[in-house]
């Protein structure tokens, strides 16, 4: 929340701000070690959001990021007209735990709240 508050104040003052994602990652990761954050940062200019990814899981992980984008709109009190995504790599696979079989019902619950 500190980073969101920082970005919100700058956005309200200047109409643009950068935002960094991720401070601590818990868990053990896919191969027993914790990896880097995939979503590195973003830039908000007016009603435009640009997101920068190290890598992007289009089937599994990206769906969760859609909820993050919706939350950012509420927290920053802005409705984004465009969202531009930059990724050095994009994957179209997903582990069973991220498959649409499990993911879609979870996202439906999140968006209803």
Q: What is the DSSP string of 38-63?
A: SEEEEEEETTEEEEEES-EETTTHHH
Q: Tell me what pLDDT residue 94 has.
A: 55
Q: Tell me what pLDDT residue 58 has.
A: 79
CA distances from 10 to 22, 42, 43 (A): 19, 14, 12
Which class for 21: exposed (0-12), middle (13-18), buried (19 or more C-beta within 10 A)? Answer: middle
Could you read off the pLDDT of 17-73 as tens digits, one per residue?
Answer: 999 987 555 666 666 665 667 888 999 999 999 999 988 887 767 878 888 899 999
Residue 56 in contact with residue 62, Cβ under 8 Å? Answer: yes
CA of residue 65 relative to chain centroid, distance: 4
Residue 82 in contact with residue 45, Cβ under 8 Å? Answer: no
CA–CA dist 57, 51 (Å, integer): 14
Q: Tell me what pLDDT residue 32 has.
A: 63
Predicted TM-score (pTM) above 0.75: no
pLDDT at residue 76 tops 90: yes
Which class for 7: exposed (0-12), middle (13-18), buried (19 or more C-beta within 10 A)? Answer: buried
Residue 60: count of CB within 10 angstroms of its CB: 20
Domain boundary assignment for the chain = 2-21+36-112
């Amino acid at each position: 929340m500190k980073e969101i508050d920082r970005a919100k104040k700058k956005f309200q003052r200047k109409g643009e701000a950068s935002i960094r994602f991720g401070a601590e990652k818990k868990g053990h990761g896919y191969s027993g070690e914790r990896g880097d954050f995939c979503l590195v940062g973003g830039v908000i200019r007016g009603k435009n959001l640009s997101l920068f990814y190290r890598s992007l899981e289009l089937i599994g992980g990206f769906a969760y990021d859609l909820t993050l984008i919706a939350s950012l709109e509420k927290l920053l009190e802005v409705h984004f007209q465009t969202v531009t995504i930059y990724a050095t790599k994009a994957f179209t696979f997903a582990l069973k735990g991220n498959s649409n079989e499990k993911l879609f019902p979870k996202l439906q619950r999140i968006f209803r709240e």
